[in-house]
Structure 1
């Protein structure tokens, strides 16, 4: 398996973890009865950060699946031993993949971190805002959200490795001796 196959496997693994994260967050709910009559249900829609996590992780999973398909089915094998000339279309594709990979990694990491921050507020509460602790009443809900966010961070680590491969695929096209000059044909 070459570097392209490894990239495809990593992208597929990240997509699976992103789907698991989105599904765990979106499908998690717990209902408690307060005072034996009033039912209170905790869902991901209670925290806006978790709502955004579901959508961003879903979009990132779709992107990762499309890119893994590109790695497995549409890309021509690259021979690293030969000096392959950089064509304009290959350079454009490599640049676009690098930029999109960076956007996806930063987007997933930032929304996952916002979800963690909102979850910590649900665990500790905030007396100054009169926000009550949520996780002492909905413990199963909070544990499942914590596991989902952990899966999101593992997916983020896989996407960082993929982004590094994408950077390698782009910057190997440039000459090591001259700044931002493509390698000679």
Structure 2
């Protein structure tokens, strides 16, 4: 189980770094009457998502450095292991939720750029900046893949946490 979690974390870090770099470096310039440039800074949701992906990648990278110490079989500190298991589970959950929320907000903002909004007189951006929108769509797919990988990581954290408890009595610690 440790190797699977290690591979998932490495994959999540790589996909999150790829996503942050795709969103952060995506730019397209068009000269119509005036020179116009589309970047991720044009939409606040995309701007925030770059930071969220970077922080999530950093968190998973820190956890990669720490995994062997937490799951060492000779570690007999039952109370410390339980506290670390709870912290691991809760932090993994928080990172997944924040990343998923940022990705969903960025996707919603991107859809508004594709379709426009006649009621607010927002025009479509993707009919002018096609390459920008296609690359942003690829970045959103990578972001959802990263969320899926982190959900799998969270299931390992949940298993690690709840393996400390007795299966016969609700939330009673196992006798070791």
Q: Is the contact between residue 7 and residue 68 of structure 1 (CA under 8 Å) also seen in structure 2?
A: no
Q: Which residue number corresponds to residue 31 of structure 1?
A: 29
Displacement after TM superposition at 1:76 (Å): 4.1
Q: Which residue number corresponds to residue 19 of structure 1?
A: 17
Q: Which residue number corresponds to residue 120 of structure 2?
A: 129
Provide the C-alpha distance between the structure 1 equivalents of 2:29 and 2:100, rounded to a whole number of angstroms.
30
TM-score by length of 2: 0.96
Q: How many residues align?
A: 176
Provide the C-alpha distance between the structure 1 equivalents of 2:166 and 2:142, rounded to a whole number of angstroms.
39
Aligned residue for 2:28, secondary structure, equals strand
Q: Is the contact between residue 86 and residue 182 of structure 1 (CA under 8 Å) also seen in structure 2?
A: no
Q: Would you say 1:77 and 2:39 are equivalent positions?
A: no
Aligned residue for 1:102, secondary structure, equals helix
Q: Is the contact between residue 70 and residue 81 of structure 2 (CA under 8 Å) also seen in structure 1?
A: no
Aligned residue for 2:174, secondary structure, equals coil
Query: Structure 1 residue aligned with 2:173, among 158, 182, 185?
Result: 182
Moved over 6 A (4+): none
Displacement after TM superposition at 1:60 (Å): 0.1
**CA RMSD of the aligned region, Å?**
1.5
Query: Structure 1 residue aligned with 2:163, among 148, 169, 172?
Result: 172
Provide the C-alpha distance between the structure 2 equivalents of 1:44 and 1:67, rounded to a whole number of angstroms.
29
- CA deviations 1:98-157 (Å, max 9, x no partner) are 000000111111110111100000000000000000000000000001001100101111
TM-score by length of 1: 0.91
Aligned residue for 1:175, secondary structure, equals coil
**Structure 1 portions without partners, runs of 5+:** none
Aligned residue for 1:96, secondary structure, equals helix
Distance verdict in 2 for CA 1:19–1:119, change over 3 Å: same
Query: Structure 2 residue aligned with 1:9, among 1, 7, 10?
Result: 7
Q: Would you say 1:158 and 2:149 are equivalent positions?
A: yes
User: Which aligned pairs between 1:39-50 and structure 2 lie closer than 5 A?
Assistant: 39-50=35-46
Q: Is the contact between residue 8 and residue 69 of structure 1 (CA under 8 Å) also seen in structure 2?
A: no
Aligned residue for 1:176, secondary structure, equals coil
Aligned residue for 2:31, secondary structure, equals strand
Q: Is the contact between residue 105 and residue 159 of structure 1 (CA under 8 Å) also seen in structure 2?
A: yes
Q: Which residue number corresponds to residue 66 of structure 1?
A: 62
